[in-house]
Amino acid sequence: MTDMPARATTPLPIVLAGARGHGRWHLANIRRLQHQGLVRLAGVCELQPLTDDELAAFAGEMPEQSADFGALLDSTGARAAVICTPIPTHTDLALTAAARGVHLLLEKPPAATWADYARMADGVREAGIACQVGFQSLGSHAVPAVKDLVRSGAIGELRGIGAAGAWVRDDAYFRRAPWAGRRRLGGTDVVDGVLTNPLAHAVATALELADRGRAEDVASVETQLFRAHDIEADDTSCVRVTATDGLPVTTAVTLCAEEAGEPYVIVHGERGRVTFWYKQDRVLVQRAGHGPEEAVHGRTDLLENLVDHLARGTALLVPPERTGAFMRVVEAVRTAPEPTALPRDAWYTRPADTGGVRRVVRGIDATVAAGADTLTLFSELGASWARPREVSTP
């Protein structure tokens, strides 16, 4: 991450909404920036207040706590907020902040539906606040470097983008919260599938490297959604976005991998390819007439970038409009037929490192890799469980 020098200005007062689960990462990150004098944790919004142990790193400067986000923003005088709450709450909380002129770091996915995303984006724009969407991979310095390489013609004409993610999650992962693994809860859309939440970065990063991250860049979206677990949502899926100029952007992902691997994006050119392992900021360039070239890039933290934007006018790295194409994918997943349950002989169970049990789809590691390599969907790869009649293509 980029270490910015401490400024003489007053630290930016921040409220964190959702400080448990993934919110713990944000809590630690805010503490890091507070130590640099860039921000101050003014408040924490949780249904159950954090304990002294959970706030031990902030000893002597304890934040105010409340379950009422709006009231907390008012009482603390916060100028910015980090929202890391369940997906269906993102839009209303973002608009609560916008109504008070409070700037935002909004966790991904920015909303559960296209309508909510549009409502959030319109509200943010009308309020004139800064909003950063939490796709941390788009803060990698590798992203502009790869895009510049493609624009220079180093790998020839762009042919397509493929992404693959093979992760391992045990049964307990889908019991971590009432909304986990759900498509909807109490009539409210949740859309907590592998493409839209745990491996959403694969989709968003692929679209960004294609330089087709806006909603208007999307001509069509094809989805193939499957599940090995007893859940509503998908855990093994692929999607192909066709851009308005015909470029394919294909992502194949699973939470039922044989072995956990680093997710990556491949930029396919007529004379070479670039592979980007986005969690590692690592790039491998392979092209005709050259030996392989590998580099590890730096990364700018998105909250730091938001602070820098407010202090110096630095451009935001991930404003809402940059995630429009991703939200087209979320909407396609949301409106697709229910994910197809994989046949019992397509998967098996294995003890998980966590002490629980996990489900493994046979041969899935090679299948998701082939999807990224060939820009094709599961059914086109001949997966026995992905017969055409089981495929949803909205």
Q: Is the dihedral of CA 180, 186, 190, 193 positive or negative?
A: positive
Tell me if 304 is assigned to some domain: no
Same domain for 353 and 217, yes or no, is yes
Q: In 137-244, which ranges are E strands?
A: 158-166, 184-185, 188-189, 218-227, 236-243
Per-residue pLDDT at 388 exceeds 80? no
The reported pLDDT for the residue numbered 354 is 86
Per-residue pLDDT at 391 exceeds 50? no
Same domain for 110 and 155, yes or no, is no
Tell me if 226 is assigned to some domain: yes
Angle at 107 between CA 375 and CA 127, to 5 degrees: 115
What average pLDDT score do residues 212-241 get?
98
User: Rounded to two decimals, what is the model's pTM?
Assistant: 0.94
What average pLDDT score do residues 61-69 get?
96
Give CA–CA dist 343/316, Å, rounded: 45
Same domain for 90 and 161, yes or no, is no
Three-class SS of residue 30? helix
Same domain for 153 and 42, yes or no, is no
Give CA–CA dist 377/375, Å, rounded: 7
Tell me if 372 is assigned to some domain: yes
Give CA–CA dist 12/38, Å, rounded: 6
Tell me if 5 is assigned to some domain: no
Give CA–CA dist 212/242, Å, rounded: 10
Angle at 342 between CA 21 and CA 180, to 5 degrees: 15
Domain boundary pick from 66, 101, 136: 136
Tell me if 44 is assigned to some domain: yes
The reported pLDDT for the residue numbered 59 is 79
Give CA–CA dist 328/215, Å, rounded: 7
Per-residue pLDDT at 394 exceeds 60? no
| Cα–Cα distance list, 337 to 118, 182, 194, 229, 391 (Å) | 23, 14, 15, 17, 9
Q: Which residue has the higher pLDDT, 117 or 356?
A: 117
Same domain for 193 and 153, yes or no, is yes
Same domain for 108 and 161, yes or no, is no
Same domain for 144 and 123, yes or no, is no
Tell me if 313 is assigned to some domain: no
Q: What is the DSSP string of 286-326?
A: EETTS--EEEE--B--HHHHHHHHHHH-PPPSS-GGGGHHH
Per-residue pLDDT at 357 exceeds 70? yes
pLDDT tens per residue, range 128-167: 999 999 999 999 999 999 999 999 999 999 999 999 999 9
Beta strands 80-83; 103-106: pairing state: parallel
pLDDT tens per residue, range 364-384: 999 999 999 999 999 999 999
Same domain for 165 and 129, yes or no, is no
Give CA–CA dist 349/367, Å, rounded: 19
- Counting the structural domains of the chain, the total is 2
Question: Which CATH number does the domain housing residue 377 bear?
Answer: 3.30.360.10
Question: What is the domain range of residue 228?
Answer: 140-297+337-390
Give CA–CA dist 162/109, Å, rounded: 20
Per-residue pLDDT at 314 exceeds 80? yes
Give CA–CA dist 162/264, Å, rounded: 9
Same domain for 73 and 160, yes or no, is no
Give helix then strand counts, H and E, for the chain: 9, 19
Tell me if 22 is assigned to some domain: yes
Tell me if 160 is assigned to some domain: yes
The reported pLDDT for the residue numbered 133 is 98
Question: Which CATH number does the domain housing residue 50 bear?
Answer: 3.40.50.720
What average pLDDT score do residues 93-106 get?
98
Angle at 13 between CA 7 and CA 18, to 5 degrees: 130
Domain boundary pick from 136, 160, 193: 136
Same domain for 238 and 148, yes or no, is yes
Same domain for 237 and 183, yes or no, is yes
Strand-pairing partners, residue 103, are 80
Question: In sequence order, which residues have a C-beta less than 8 Å from that of residue 331 and are 6 or more positions away?
Answer: 113, 114
Domain boundary pick from 118, 136, 154: 136
Structure tokens that stand for 379 in this block: 């059914």
What average pLDDT score do residues 341-355 get?
95
In this prediction, residue 4 has a pLDDT band, given cuts at 50, 70 and 90, of very low
Same domain for 282 and 188, yes or no, is yes
Strand-pairing partners, residue 43, are 15, 64
What average pLDDT score do residues 105-112 get?
97
